[in-house]
Amino acid sequence: MTVERKPVAYGDMRTWLKALDDAGEIKHVNGEVDWNIELGTIARLLQGPATGPSVMFNNIKDYNKPDSRCKKVFTGGLSSYRRIAMMMGLPPDTHPRELVKLGRTILTGAIPPRVVKTGPCKENIITGDAIDLFEFPAPYWNRLDGGRYLMTYGGCVTKDPENGIMNVGVYRGMIHDKTRIPILMWRAQHIGHHVTAWQNGGASEVPIAVAIGVEPALEFCAGAPVPKGICEYDVAGAIRGAPIDVVKCETVDLYVPATSEIVIEGFLQIDPAKYLPEGPFAEFTGYLAGDPAPKPAIRVTAITHRNDPILRGTIEGALPGSYSENTVTSSIMRASTAWNVLDRSGVPGITDVWCNPVQAGINLLIQMKQSYRNQAKQAANAIWGSSAAHVRYKHITVVDDDIDIHDYAAVDWAIAYRVNAGEDDIIIMPSTFGLGLDPSTRKRDRNPTLFGTGKWNRVLIDATMNLDYDPDPDFGGARFPPKAWPDQPDIDAVKARWEELGLDKK
């Protein structure tokens, strides 16, 4: 069944916040909360397994004075499937399976942005000696972090110097001093492609702008694997059904959403001599990651913001029972992207694809209707050979179409009784590129300066019925015995007597 989608152009984060408030999806914390550790701890405890509310912190220690530049922090806007469905223009109770199906096409739409002369993000313009990043209540999210992270859910805008196409991505950034923010980036990411292109042209710095507090369609896209050469502004426009209004920055030749709460402009220092220490940070893996090391830093040249701006941030790191919004959104878009890769590669019979949010797409589940042997291996090779696999899909499990991949008990059962390592059902692909934040990788092998990426040995678990087995005449020519489940006529006969027997209705 296809769920009807009605795109919603929220316009800005504040209209989105009102919609969430009206739906009872925001928890307002009005008591004074310390930006130092306490705020992050509360945010993490409230997350739940994609069931917690979004949170507005209205009273932050040291930032609750009448003349404070920024007094509020909002987090968790996309940390539940209900709110993601609302963002997509779907009923809140839409099943994640339907969100994945929609995700397959949502990244292919394109409504280009509309350039406007000005917007609310220009209500306040700060330049020169007046720039002070500490005027914003960047939380010290986790006790083991390397510092205060201002950039956790901001859209970093850069552009290709050759064709001018902009990219909007989410990268973490830590305050070093009043005017500099070292960030974590990888050469294989789109921002890394831009950096390489600028570097090849002889540049020592790259224009960059960070838009913080934008409407949810762009937040969703900025953290999703949008194909190279496609601007997230175009995709977000398609999601919301209308173009995003963008305005030119004050000090760099880039465009940002006109209704952004806060915009940080500057130049990313790509000369290693100007790198600054960054990290570590409690990352999406649920572990402290990204060792403290010199990283490229933004030299801030201007800050613009709305009146009474709201700082948008997120607590990273998914753990059992507490899923971050990055991992919840990733569970949809990484599954959708993998399904599209399989289609483009010509792998037939794919009936469902899923990534459990607790691991954000590191493990991929594929459901297929087999038509020839070793089809699961073809699927794994297609995924691993794609650029989408750079930081995802380390372990792939493939099951038959009678296994519900949204039910881990079903997947576990398939692994238990349809996998035989001696029959090549376990395949290891050694020494591939991989996630540089994965703690299971040796520390040396996740050095971005040395290698530009991490290093993974990937695994396929083929939990499909093995078509190398001979058909068994005792099982009507099937390769596996029949499952121990009653035949439908027997079920119907018993259900007809259910109430007569004093059993609960089902």
The structural domains of the chain, ordered by start, are 13-312 (2.30.110.10), 325-463 (3.40.1670.10)
Asked if 373 and 413 touch (Cβ cutoff 8 Å), the reply is no
- In our burial notation (b when 16+ CB lie closer than 10 A, e otherwise), range 83-108 reads bbbbbbbbeeebebbbbbbbbbebbe
Tell me how far apart the terminal alpha carbons of the chain are, to the nearest angstrom. 23
Alpha-carbon distances of 103 from 221, 225, 367, 384, 485, rounded to whole Å: 11, 11, 17, 20, 34
Which one-letter amino acid corresponds to residue 208? I
Q: Which helix (H) or strand (E) holds 451?
A: helix 448-451
pLDDT for res 506: 55
* Contact status, residue 331 vs residue 361, Cβ threshold 8 Å: yes
Rg of the chain taking only CA atoms, in angstroms: 24
User: DSSP of 303-366, one letter per residue?
Assistant: EEE-SS-EEE------BTTB--HHHHHHHHHHHHHHHHHHHHTT---EEEEE--GGGTTSEEEE
Contacts of 162 by beta carbon, 8 Å cutoff, 6+ apart: 197
**Rounded distance between C-alpha atoms, residue 155 and residue 119, angstroms:** 17
Cα separation of 57 and 495, whole Å? 52
Beta bridge partners of 269: 205, 297
CA dihedral 27, 238, 311, 68 (to 10 degrees): -110
Q: Any residues with CB less than 8 A from the CB of 48 and at least 6 apart, and which?
A: 321, 322, 323
pLDDT along the chain (506 residues), means of 10: 81 97 97 98 96 97 98 97 96 94 86 97 98 98 96 95 91 97 84 88 95 96 78 92 97 98 97 95 89 93 98 94 94 94 96 95 97 97 92 96 97 97 96 89 82 90 94 89 93 94 80
What's residue 451's pLDDT?
Answer: 84
Phi first, then psi: give them for residue 248, nearest 5 degrees: -70, 145
* pLDDT for 2: 60
Helix 325-344 vs helix 81-88: crossing angle, to nearest 10: 60
What pLDDT does 387 receive? Answer: 85
The two counts, helices (H) then strands (E), for the chain are: 12, 25
